[in-house]
Structure 1
Amino acid sequence: MQIAVLNTGGTISCVGTPLAPMSAEQFKTACQTYLDPVIAQSYPDVTLTYVTDLSFPESSSGTLDSTNLQPTDWCLLASYLLGIYSTYDAFIVLHGTDTMDFTGTALPFLLSAFDANGIATAVISKPIILTGSQLPMFYQGPDQNAPSGLLYNTDAFQNVCGAVAAAQTGTPEVCVYFHGSLFRGNRAVKTNANQFAAFSSPNYPALAECGITFDLVPDTILPGPVMPAVSLDTPAVVAQVQAQLTAITAAINSMPVMQFNAVPAWYQTSPAQAMLAKLITACVGEGIKGLVLESYGEGNFPSGNPNQPSQGAIYQALDSANAAGVVIVDCTQVLQGTVNNSAYAAGAWLPAVGALSPADMTPMAALAKLMILLAAQQHNGWSLATVKILLQSSLLGEMTSVNRLDSRVNDVLLPGQSISALDGSATLINDAVLGPRLLSSTGTVLWSALGASTPADPLPGRLVMQNDGNLVLYSRNTVPLWATNTGIYGGASSVLTLSGSMSNSTLTLQVYDYQHHKVTATLYSQS
């Protein structure tokens, strides 16, 4: 197996007192001398190639502390990976820990492409493993010109070994490996600055754990390309992604996105004034295109008027931002959980100012995803409304899918579970007594799988989007009670999607075969 090792910078490749970055050539020589012989003992079929021509223009050393990485550097790294993609079987990216959780989201989105419905047209097919360390890899004494060995009892060596093990699995994702755990890159968060277990994944389980053995958790891993026509192993697909990346690189600096924390701060109701409102207005004045709110709890944000939110200065500042075309995302500053801003009056006003719900996406992932979608908008011919829909849709497993069942990822609606339109105007619930039913937000039944008929076998049942393209309701005894009868021999990877909105008469519930690019069943349509 051929694995490329890209050293972007960070603690792992620093030496000396005080710590300073090694050059790419010095790091390569040290790794070949001290690291490769150890790797070869466990992985004799692995060849590590250390990249020396990746250089960040703002740094005199060529490598860059991740604190100083900017969005164009994400693009530079993605472009380099595309350029060598066909040469290697896997990639290890050594990266500083400070912004690894931002890069963990940026890279998969820069290396993928989607149509306006969120269906992948280009997908990663090989492992890309981000790792780094809290302490350096090598020891170099004060009178030495080069490292003289591996440092004792640091996390650097173990993390690189784990990254190699992760690369061996062929997992087709951008991942973060740290302290024995492999995380989806766009789910990882730096949660500890002082311990070796620096990263965690609060809202999604680890993809693998490394102990005595390296153990994958298969159900957590993205399935990869549905066919060669969307795989980065296909040269035409690489060319498609490179063209999009060129456009993103040119546009990304003009699409700044800002994270904005909810904090206890002064406000007054009459006349309406608030410190947070002034800061929001200042950000909009500086040309931001997106605002990621880091709200309290389930998505609560101060409005500036507890009794009449719409009269509050913060409400009005956000409303003005939305009217100016700024995309507002209501994330939470709480590490774990899902945004539900309708749970409390203190957050229920946010949709009125255009705030979008990202489910359980991290603020770091929301920032990187939104910035890249905005930068890709013109190239892909998307409207701003399409960008907002894509932002709220799970494209690469970065968030819980709220409006879809996918036959290859999340294929089952269990009793009591539901999917909803992104604006909450309709919900498809698998009722434990009545079976799958599409309900409006007022409770009106729009569609029912079983209608008024009594099922031939008892409920509750499971609604399954099968990988042959057939949507089937199974009884509790696994007897089919209802189906779309859209199955295709040989497979038809498909998605059940609840899209559109009751408010503008565009609501649809459809089965879409994304392997053959066609709608196979329309269960409900307002239009």
Structure 2
Amino acid sequence: MSTKKRICLLYTGGTIGMVQHLQDDGSIELRPPENIGDFERNIPELKDLCTAEFVPILNLDSTNMVPEDWTTIATSVYERMDQFDGFVVIHGTDTMHFSASAVSLALGPNLNKPVVFTGAQTDMSVLHGDARINLIRAVRIALEPIAEVVICFANHVFRGCRTQKRDEKRFDAFESPAFYPVADITEEILIHPVTSRPKENIQAIDFMPEFSANILQVSLTPGLKPEPLYPLLESRSYDGFILLSYGAGNVPNREDKPEYSFEGFIKKATKHNIPVVIASQFPANSTMHTKYEPGRKAIQAGAIPTGNMTNACATVKFNWVLTQVRSLIAKGVEREERLIELVNYRMGKPHVHEMD
């Protein structure tokens, strides 16, 4: 009987998994892998590292990922939790940080095994590329005593809910702007003290995988007027709004040019019981403790801060929280008039170390 650890490779799509197929006309076509054999032919070391099982659950360019797909990924991990020692989620890079944040929240703080997201900037056919080495490293990290969702890319391992993509071409495509790497990959795997470790007698996972809120994000730019957004409040086209702000949560509020001020929009949305969240383009700064007047005025108008969460995690968490709150209201557990209060409380309460 093999003593190697069992690792589940969950394939969702992306460049990393594409394999070459010779066509009748002599041309090469890149296709998604059909089974673990496609990976083992390119990475024979896999069978030396672990006993791997390949499970294709999606086949999407990650640009086309939607919240229902986050639920599919999280459920695929959760349903196999007792069968494997660790998981590697093979994913496209464009929205990997959104999916990793979603799976982190869905599985919650009682996750007691590694769930490692990875992808690549090149496919396996590029000999000097990163596909092969990223997958080997991700499997290697999945063998370590880590108990959280992480992104393994290039030389670093980042907490999944603290990561954002920073480059489309470079092999170090991801960063964690407001939190340390949980591990670094050198000749040895250097796991840092901030990493969540497996615990004995831990409680069962409180699995909450639903993301069904309809949310609109608006990126603030100089000269943008909130006027086109007002009809969306009246029609209730969206369950909530995210304003991607400047700096540490600053939102335009000029009194001498009120047509550019978003304070009125925030107040009216709040009056309509539609939450408005403030996220930052620079998550190393906190939208919860801004010292600048435009940021404080937005909070006073009713906007909900997101601390130093990344934009990806703030977006995903807002969807997740709003879905839960609306479910409680639909069941009669909570009152409709408390919706914004409940969303505000849950957005500000860390769940999986997604904020300081």
- Letter of the 1:106 partner, please give it: A
Question: CA shift at 1:313, angstroms?
Answer: 5.0
- Letter of the 1:369 partner, please give it: K
Q: Does 1:200 align with 2:175?
A: yes
Which residue is 1:39 aligned to?
Answer: 46
Question: CA shift at 1:276, angstroms?
Answer: 2.6
Question: CA shift at 1:40, angstroms?
Answer: 4.2
C-alpha offsets along residues 203-226 of structure 1, whole Å, 9 cap, x if unaligned? 0000000011111002x1135568
SS in 2 for 1:24: coil
Q: Aligned pair in 2 of structure 1 residues 306, 334: CA closer, same or farther (>3 Å)?
A: farther
Q: Aligned pair in 2 of structure 1 residues 227, 308: CA closer, same or farther (>3 Å)?
A: farther
Which residue is 2:226 aligned to?
Answer: 277
SS in 2 for 1:349: helix
Give the structure-1-normalised TM-score: 0.60
Q: How many residues align?
A: 337
- Letter of the 1:279 partner, please give it: P
CA distance in 1, matches of 2:128, 2:137: 15
CA distance in 2, matches of 1:389, 1:286: 23
C-alpha offsets along residues 386-411 of structure 1, whole Å, 9 cap, x if unaligned? 232111111111000xxxxxxxxxxx
Aligned ranges 1:6-25 → 2 under 5 Å = 6-15=10-19, 20-25=30-35
- Pairing partner for 2:134 from 129, 136, 159: 159
SS in 1 for 2:190: strand
- Letter of the 2:321 partner, please give it: L
Which residue is 1:488 aligned to?
Answer: none
Across the aligned residues of Structure 1 and Structure 2, the Cα RMSD in angstroms comes to 2.3
Q: Aligned pair in 2 of structure 1 residues 312, 196: CA closer, same or farther (>3 Å)?
A: closer
Gaps of 5+ in 1: 56-62, 113-119, 140-150, 233-239, 266-274, 401-527
- Pairing partner for 1:96 from 92, 95, 101: 92
Give the structure-2-normalised TM-score: 0.87
Which residue is 2:61 aligned to?
Answer: 65
Question: CA shift at 1:33, angstroms?
Answer: 2.4
- Letter of the 2:298 partner, please give it: L
- Pairing partner for 1:211 from 186, 192, 203: 186
Aligned ranges 1:119-134 → 2 under 5 Å = 123-134=110-121
Which residue is 1:110 aligned to?
Answer: 106
Question: CA shift at 1:319, angstroms?
Answer: 1.2
Question: CA shift at 1:341, angstroms?
Answer: 6.2
- Letter of the 2:64 partner, please give it: N
Which residue is 1:80 aligned to?
Answer: 76
- Letter of the 2:242 partner, please give it: V
CA contact (8 A) 1:108 1:174 kept: yes
Q: Does 1:263 align with 2:238?
A: no
C-alpha offsets along residues 424-473 of structure 1, whole Å, 9 cap, x if unaligned? xxxxxxxxxxxxxxxxxxxxxxxxxxxxxxxxxxxxxxxxxxxxxxxxxx
- Letter of the 2:133 partner, please give it: Q
SS in 1 for 2:278: strand
Gaps of 5+ in 2: 21-26
Which residue is 1:293 aligned to?
Answer: 243
CA distance in 1, matches of 2:146, 2:197: 8
CA distance in 1, matches of 2:55, 2:176: 29
CA distance in 2, matches of 1:110, 1:10: 22
SS in 2 for 1:49: strand
CA distance in 1, matches of 2:176, 2:346: 22
CA contact (8 A) 1:258 1:367 kept: no
- Pairing partner for 2:196 from 208, 222, 225: 222
CA distance in 1, matches of 2:220, 2:182: 32
SS in 1 for 2:321: helix
- Pairing partner for 2:350 from 375, 381, 394: 394
Q: Aligned pair in 2 of structure 1 residues 224, 338: CA closer, same or farther (>3 Å)?
A: farther
- Letter of the 1:316 partner, please give it: G
- Letter of the 1:260 partner, please give it: V
Q: Which has the higher contact order (CA 8 A, sep 6+)?
A: 2
The structure with more strand, counted as a fraction of residues: 1
SS in 1 for 2:131: helix
CA distance in 1, matches of 2:263, 2:289: 14
CA distance in 2, matches of 1:365, 1:286: 24
CA contact (8 A) 1:9 1:96 kept: yes
CA distance in 2, matches of 1:379, 1:300: 31
- Letter of the 2:228 partner, please give it: L
